[in-house]
Amino acid sequence: MALTSKANEMRQNGEDVLVLTVGEPDFDTPQHIKDAAIKAIDLGQTKYTSVDGTVDLKKAIISKFKNENNLEYQMDEIIVSSGCKQSIFNLLQVLIQQGDEVIIPQPYWVSYADMVVYSGGIPILLETSYEENFDIDPSIFESLISEKTKLFMLNSPNNPSGKYFNSKLLKKLGDILLNHQQIYISSDDIYEHIHWNVENFHNIANVCPELKERVIVLNGVSKAYAMTGWRIGYAAGNKEIIKKMKTLQSQSTSCASSISQAAACAALSQKCTEMSLMTEEYKKRHDYVVSQLNEIDGVFCKPTDGTFYVFPSFKQYISDSKTITNDSDLALHLLNNAKVAVVPGSAFGQEGHIRLSIAIDMNSLKNAMTRIANSL
């Protein structure tokens, strides 16, 4: 992101910039996971693996789905990739043909729409609003479906809004999708374990088992286990689609790192007390930042359901301002005047907002909130 690059350049030049743009945990990878990687190196497990992942890791993924999500998969319905991002890219490349339409709820992760375009598809954006808590309106969703619709992309809890789509909403969406057999559904569950919604986590395959053959579940170890640099993601779904993803991956990156796969196996198969402790800390930071933002005139910030972001509305502030005309101007203003780097909401298809990462220590967050308030 351009603002992140500028912020890093400013820091290299000695300026005290607080970077709230990056979506990765500030915690270290838990020790037992690092130990598993070291053991794999000592045992010489440093060779190529099968393109779609080691047997041990695929078994751990299958067990994870069964124990945590009540979903049953076979070995040929699982593929391991170099990060969840690659799994998403692979899926779009093998599924989307020229002119196919892909429905994406706004706001969306920055890469979704571009990936669809790179695959020859047409992003169809499903508008949601801050005022309606970023809920998807089933009637609007249904109105966007055409004979060209090939994929519906879900991300819950959502980056950047932190919105969790509950089982009641997913059931309504699923009932609509049952009437459109040509549409596949991708469920990006990467923030599955970082949520504080009262409902236990569900995805659309849980809520509508009749759709399971058309749902591709996407996940990874980056966020929940503080393993962003290890680059392990995975997908589960229809074996014919997974087979095509494997073929594509065999001609690009081939297998994911063997050492990272051993570490991911430990992450998914062993108890990880650090995961809940990290989420508790994110919640404390979340509560603090939301309360502080709501003290600023013209700024409105509702509590989220999870992730490590907040996504306040600055629409009123921008409307009242004589110098700031949009969220990009606002982000640049905060970088230059508050020395705080944030991401404009327009990058996620939602103008008038900014995204702040709370994956940074509390003292730095307190400093950032003071700087932001003083600069506005």
Identify the pLDDT of residue 198: 80
Q: What integer best gives the mean pLDDT of the chain?
A: 97
Residues of the chain with pLDDT > 90, as a percent, come to: 96
pLDDT of residue 68: 96
Neighbours of 230 (CB within 10 A): 24
Residue with tokens 């779609």: 52
Q: Residue 7 has what pLDDT? A: 86
369: closest CA among 291, 311, 307?
Answer: 291
Same fold, 2-28+273-375 and 31-269: no
Domain boundaries along the sequence of the chain: 2-28+273-375, 31-269
pLDDT, residue 311, reads 98
Which pLDDT value is given to residue 5?
Answer: 82
Please tell me the CATH superfamily of domain 2-28+273-375, with its number: Aspartate Aminotransferase, domain 1 (3.90.1150.10)
pLDDT tens per residue, range 253-295: 999 999 999 999 999 999 999 999 999 999 999 999 999 999 9
The lowest-confidence range among 12-16, 53-57, 197-201, 349-353 is 197-201
Quick one: the chain helix, strand, coil %, rounded to 5?
45, 15, 40
Euclidean distance between CA atoms 59 and 54, whole angstroms: 9
Rounded distance between C-alpha atoms, residue 93 and residue 81, angstroms: 14
Q: If you average pLDDT over residues 330-340, what whole number do you get?
A: 97
pLDDT value for 332: 96
Question: For residue 268, what pLDDT is reported?
Answer: 98
The residue type of 146 is S
pLDDT at 254: 97
Q: How far apart are CA 134 and CA 309, in angstroms?
A: 14
What average pLDDT score do residues 10-22 get? Answer: 93
* CB-based contact 216:237 (threshold 8 Å): yes
pLDDT value at residue 2: 74
Q: What is the CATH number of domain 31-269?
A: 3.40.640.10
- pLDDT for position 1: 60
Token couple for 309:
């972001």
pLDDT reported for residue 223? 98
Burial class (CB in 10 A: 0-12, 13-18, 19+), 375: middle
Rounded to 10°, the helix 84-95/239-250 angle is 110
- Sign of the dihedral defined by the CA atoms of residues 247, 248, 252, 255, in that order: negative
Residues 327 and 352 sit within 8 Å (Cβ to Cβ): yes
| Model-wide pTM > 0.85 | yes
So what's the pLDDT on residue 110?
95
* Helix ranges, the chain (H): 2-12, 31-42, 55-69, 84-95, 111-118, 138-144, 167-177, 204-207, 239-250, 258-269, 273-293, 315-320, 327-333, 362-375
Reported as a single tens digit per residue, the pLDDT across 296-321 is: 999 999 999 999 999 999 999 999 99
